[in-house]
Amino acid sequence: MTDRELRDRAADQAYRDHATDVYRVAYGILRDPDEALDATHDTFARAWERWEQYDSQRPLRAWLHGIVVHLALDQLRRRRVRRLALPELGRDAVGRIGSGSTADPATDVVRRRVVEDALATLRPQARAALVLRHYYGYDYAQIGAFLGTGSGTVGSTLSRAHAALRERLGGPVEDTDPATVPTRAPDGATEPPEVLR
């Protein structure tokens, strides 16, 4: 088997194993399902191109997360006008119901919308730090490596982000039901469409 065939096989397996996590990080930063899907595909294309740079002694997921964070932040830098969240009508009003603990599905949709709106007001680096810390458990040094900053800066970024969310949500961030913090696309998908097939 040639080197290219081995790389193709390894990259295909990486996509099957990690596309969901890469998509969630991309969506956590970009807050747009189409852009997150593009960033996911770009991440695996970049990984395939640079496969020889991957250190097999380190976790593959962390390497891919580093790539997607940089791509998503670059994408946001290129975006001249921040796009607003997709309208609630049609696509996402029904799809986002079901993971909350409330008896009334409408309450669940409203809570998710409030949290998503609060997250959308944060700087992209703050959203990235929140997703990487609270959903994937990376330590400050790892997040700093992804974002190209020091662990002290990560700590202060997270502190400011928590304070901003507390202010906007009117209570401790830690008391927020994790099911209401959307890291999924508004249509309810937690994986890129290709993975859902």
pTM for the whole structure: 0.58
> Does one domain contain both 157 and 72?
no
> Does one domain contain both 103 and 171?
yes
Q: Is residue 90 part of a domain?
A: no
Buried/exposed code over 121-131 (b: 16+ C-beta within 10 A; e: otherwise) = ebebbbbbbbb
> Could you read off the pLDDT of 97-109 as tens digits, one per residue?
344 444 556 666 6
Range(s) of the domain holding residue 106: 95-189
> Could you read off the pLDDT of 15-58 as tens digits, one per residue?
999 999 999 999 999 988 988 998 999 999 899 889 989 998 99
> Does one domain contain both 171 and 142?
yes
The domain tally of the chain equals 2
Q: Is residue 145 part of a domain?
A: yes
Read off the CATH number of the domain in which 9 is found: 1.10.1740.10
Q: Is residue 195 part of a domain?
A: no
